[in-house]
Structure 1
Amino acid sequence: MHATEHCFTPFTSSIEHFELPERFTYPFYYEPHPLCLVAAEQLQQHLETQTDWQHNFGLDGDTDNAIGKMFGVLLVKNQQGEVGFLSAFSGKVANQNLLPNFVPPVFDMLAEGSFFLSGQDKLNELSQQIKKLEANPDLATAKQALQEAQLASNEALAAHRSNMVEARKVRKAKRADSANLAPEVRNQLKTQLSQESVIEKLQLRDLKLYWEAEVAQKQELLDLLQNVISPLVEQRRNFSSSLQQKLFEQYCFLNSEGEEKCLGELFISTAQGVPPAGAGECAAPKLLQFAFKHNMTPLAMAEFWWGSSPKSEIRRHKHYYPACQGKCQPILTHMLEGIELDDNPLLTNPAEGKSLEIIYQDEDMAVVNKPAEFLSVPGKTIEDSVYLRMKQQFPDATGPLIVHRLDMSTSGLMVIAISKRANKSLQKQFIQRTVKKRYTAMIDGVLEADHGLINLPLRGDLDDRPRQLVCHEHGKPAETTWKVISRSDKHTKVHLYPKTGRTHQLRVHCAHSLGLNMPILGDDLYGVKTTRLHLHAELLELNHPITNEPMTFQVDAEF
């Protein structure tokens, strides 16, 4: 176990001219306190110069096997009244949980002789047994035999039923032609045709019975082989579940009032009901746990990314990021109980004092110029939005008003469906992608190429909403065409033409390493926050929902 004095790090430079924070950091949206910046820079200097361990962060060019990491610093006051900081990393670094100068994990899964390691060994052993049994060639042969029997059965029965249909048509024709026959002959023919029908049905019955027996025999042979595997699969599932439950019980978190809660209890009221993989392994819970355990007073916190970005996420070296919602929100909410926090800026109405300009209006539709930091529809805690303002503006509207949306931080043109009849046409145009949209963006960097196409599928980050991930396996198709308008020393102004309208599509396509690899200026999720997100929906081309007349609307960006 780490000694406390090895984790508490004094500042190497004087901090006398800094004011201590009045309240603790709101961890899910913050600007790092100046002292946290000093602490982070001191930690970064340590990461660049230490030689105690080796880890490929991807900073030396080898990005194929690189694993970047989130690091955190917690500004604290120790029992002696000294102000310093604690350091932590998320997950493992250099395949270790314990490194000099970093706080330990809440629970060390890698400790020698731990139940988790022996449990992992047992799971691996079961998996190897199952894999070996599944590789048995007799199993593959039995599966194929069953499939072939089922296919042959379906084909034979289908062929017989088809023959019955044709025979029925022939009998029907014979009955129709028998009207001119002598009664005795006609009755004999009817009896014969009825017998043929009965024989065909009996043949179908026998055919069914034959193939049912054939398929059952093949199924029985397969079951004999699978019945050896199934108990092992069930045993592995049950053991894995019990191991996970036991692991959850080891992750117990303190708060400033000394109250302790474990993972299972903290996540029981979430949508999933169970902790996600890796919960409790992030830097923030580790830091607070160590501080509370050793009677230190937390003052402020910041987390930064160190290394190359993962393939799916957008993480930039040395950039600061808030704590994730999926894994950390339930844990940190408990851990920070009783501590006065900075205000949550997401609870402040960003549209307060802003007006919504209507640039076109008739009885069926309107077009508005939405300001930046203005919700399209009501949020969880803020009702003020384009929808609310339009509802107030058009109280007798029969349409739903909102046909499409813009991100809160994006400014620009939105079309509004005032009448019910207009909504159907406008919706159809958006669904069929006949509406032409052009955005203007200021990119944080200088692009060399003049134009291009970005095709990166996107899905939501389940652990850190509302962030989006690039995911080729489960993501929805997302396509953006771009063209440079102008360049300066540090920035590039571009036109963006989204073919699809995925959440944060333009922001991710610009910031991701496989896109432009340069975030939009002011992007607080995928880049660096400034006065605003420099993204504006400046051009909208559509047909009038009633007259079908082509219409073009344009409002130039303010940047």
Structure 2
Amino acid sequence: MPQPLTDPFFTYFSEGIDTISIPDYFSLMLEKPHQLCLLATKQLQNYLSEQTEWTHNFGLSNRIDGAIIGKMFGVLVVRNQNDEIGFLSAFSGKLAGTNQHTHFVPPVFDLLTENSFLNNGMEALGKMSKEIKSLENQNNPDSKEEIKKLKTSRRNYSVNLQNEIFEHYHFVNQAGEEKNLIEIFKNIGYKNPPAGAGECAAPKLLQYAFQQKMKPIAMAEFWWGQSPKSNFWKHGYFYACCKEKCEPIFKHMLKGFALEKA
């Protein structure tokens, strides 16, 4: 079906959905996906299997080199401002070495921007580490105090850099209220947000939907590829959104939302 140029990330269903009932409340998958999410997932998985735009080693083919990195993907069924039903797609973290892909909603904050504060910060940390290693290799007892000071400086610099990252992740809810990660997690008693918070597929999807004035209808996430670190993640299986990273963000983003636990 041809798609009008209303939104580059809004995808129409390739199959008819007229016989499927639209839930009155937002369906956030806890046990099983809504039927609309099953259709959206099928469509997205067909795209992942057939696309040739980028190369990522999911561990599903012997023809691709590099480390095997399975990914969590998400679909969010939405109603757009034209009163049309479709869905948005997202992935967790990076895909094929980048945050930006034409088929998927953008990240909440792009850490990979050239000459960003993160790149400059990582470069500064690298210089500190080289200086520490150089002094350690000299094996000079007089350098012990200097090494200790450098390690303290590196640790403090790293903590400040991480906090700066968290401050750049701003999440909006349906009412237009905006909070960064530090504010979100402090409100529920966390000292600091966990590493990688805000990079999961689900918050990306809600963020884009709210920014574009789309109404969320139902959401589901699934794992695609092999999992080199844990047998828990299985190819093609659905999983509920993670409690550690996503649940606190949802408390802010879904404030005032009537939820249907599917």
Q: TM-score, normalised by structure 2?
A: 0.93
- Find out whether 1:235 has 2:153 as its counterpart: yes
Separation in 2, partners of 1:258, 1:269: 18
1:226: which partner in 2? 144
Are 1:325 and 2:212 an aligned pair?
no
Q: Matches of residues 21-420 of structure 1 in structure 2 within 5 Å?
A: 21-27=23-29, 29-61=30-62, 65-136=67-138, 138-139=139-140, 222=141, 224-270=142-188, 272-343=190-261
Q: Give 3-state SS (helix, strand or coil) of 2:203's partner.
A: helix
Q: CA deviation at 1:126?
A: 1.2
Deviation per residue, 1:377-423 (Å, 9 max, x gap): xxxxxxxxxxxxxxxxxxxxxxxxxxxxxxxxxxxxxxxxxxxxxxx
Displacement of 1:230 in angstroms is 2.2
Alpha-carbon offset, residue 227 of structure 1: 2.0
Q: Which has the higher Rg, Structure 1 or Structure 2?
A: 1
| Runs of 4+ in structure 1 over 6 Å off | none
- RMSD in angstroms over aligned alpha carbons? 1.8
Alpha-carbon distance in 1 for matches of 2:58, 2:152:
39
The 1-side partners of 2:190 and 2:174 are apart by 27
**2: CA distance, partners of 1:122 / 1:25:** 45
- Is the partner of 1:135 in helix, strand or coil? helix
Q: Rate the CA distance shift 1:337–1:270 in 2: closer, same or farther, 3 A.
A: closer
| Alpha-carbon offset, residue 64 of structure 1 | 8.1
Q: When the two structures are aligned, how many residues end up with a matched partner?
A: 257
SS in 2 for 1:303: strand
1:189-233 deviation line (CA, Å, top 9, x unaligned): xxxxxxxxxxxxxxxxxxxxxxxxxxxxxxxxx3x2112222221
In structure 2, the residue corresponding to 1:342 is in which secondary structure?
A: strand
Structure 1: where are the runs of 5+ without partners? Answer: 140-221, 345-559
Identity, % of aligned pairs? Answer: 50
Match of 1:177 in 2: none
Contact 2:227 2:234 in 1 (8 A): yes
Shift of 1:272: 4.2
Match of 2:100, SS state, is: coil
Q: CA shift at 1:63, angstroms?
A: 9.6
- The Cα shift of 1:26 comes to 3.3
Secondary structure at the aligned position of 2:58 is classed as: coil
Contiguous gaps of at least 5 residues in structure 2: none
Alpha-carbon distance in 1 for matches of 2:186, 2:121: 24
| C-alpha distance in 2 between matches for 1:134 and 1:80 | 64
Q: Matches of 1:310 and 1:25 in 2, distance apart?
A: 31
Is the partner of 2:256 in helix, strand or coil? coil
Check the 8 A contact 1:77/1:83 in 2, yes or no.
Answer: yes
**Matched residues in 1 for 2:256 and 2:189: separation?**
25
Deviations 1:216-252 (A, max 9, x none): xxxxxx3x21122222212212211111111111111
Instruction: Give distance in 1, aligned partners of 2:108 and 2:189.
Output: 24
CA gap of 1:57–1:4, structure 2 versus 1, over 3 A, is farther
The correspondence of residues 476-555 of structure 1 with structure 2, limited to 5 A, is none
Preserved contact between residue 63 and residue 308 of structure 1 (Cα < 8 Å): no
Q: Structure 2: which amino acid aligns with 1:12?
A: S
Deviation at 1:113, TM superposition (A): 1.9
* Secondary structure, counterpart of 2:7 in structure 1: helix
1:369 aligned residue: none
Shift of 1:22: 1.8
d(CA) in 1 for partners of 2:68, 2:58: 5
How far the C-alpha of 1:311 sits from its partner, in A, is 2.5
